[in-house]
Amino acid sequence: MKHVLVIDDDESVRDAFEIALSSMEVAVEVTSVNNGESGVEKAVAMTPDLIFLDLKMPGIDGVETLRRIRAAGCESPVYIATAFMPEFLDELALAAKEGLRFGLSQKPLTGEQIRMIAEGSIEGLDREGVGNDG
């Protein structure tokens, strides 16, 4: 059983992740929380195989959430979900310069894209893993 933590204040996004990940061939248990503080607690308690983290949330944002997750010693792979736009990427560039390691995922993601990220990040590339454009 693999464990994925989804941290996003948007219920419809959390639902989309749960639906997408529930249809993977490998068994995946999804835990969802709607804010950064709860996300830090869950990440430290679970050490999940993968974390999807929204950048913009009420309270502490995605970067601060990641900072606290890493400071607590959790090294799970983290994908921060955001649009690939300069107004969002500038903040993330500073986080990268701090030495924080993370991946990025374009927002919004389709169910297939969510599964491709999970399969590539959790399981390696022993199944699907290549997406053709169009």
Partner 1 sequence: MADSYRFHFYVTSSDEKTLEVARQMEEALSQKFEGMEFEIKNLFEGGNAADALQDGVFSVPSLVKKMPEPIAQVIADFDNNADILIAVEKLSDSN
Which run of H or of E encompasses 7?
strand 2-7
The footprint of partner 1 on this chain (CB under 8 A) covers a number of residues equal to 32
* Residue closer to partner 1, measured from CB, 38 or 105: 105
Nearer to partner 1, 46 or 89 (CB): 89
* Residue 124 is a binding residue for partner 1 (CB under 8 A): yes
As given in the structure block, the two tokens for residue 92 are: 């993330």
Residue 16 to residue 41: CA distance in whole angstroms: 22
Query: Which ranges of 72-110 would DSSP assign to H, the alpha helix?
Result: 86-97
Residue 87: CB atoms within 10 Å: 8
Q: Which stretch binds partner 1 (CB under 8 A): 14-22, 25-33, 62-70, 112-120?
A: 112-120
Q: Smallest distance from the beta carbon of 100 to partner 1, in angstroms? A: 9
**Binding flag, residue 131, partner 1 (CB under 8 A):** yes
Under the criterion CB under 8 A, does residue 84 sit at the interface with partner 1? yes
Does position 92 bind partner 1 by CB under 8 A? yes
Measure the CA–CA gap between 38 and 108, rounded to whole angstroms. 22
CA–CA distance, 75 with 47 (Å, rounded to integer): 8
Binding residues for partner 1 (CB under 8 A): 77, 79, 84-86, 89, 92-93, 96, 99, 101-106, 109, 113, 116-117, 119-121, 124-126, 129-134
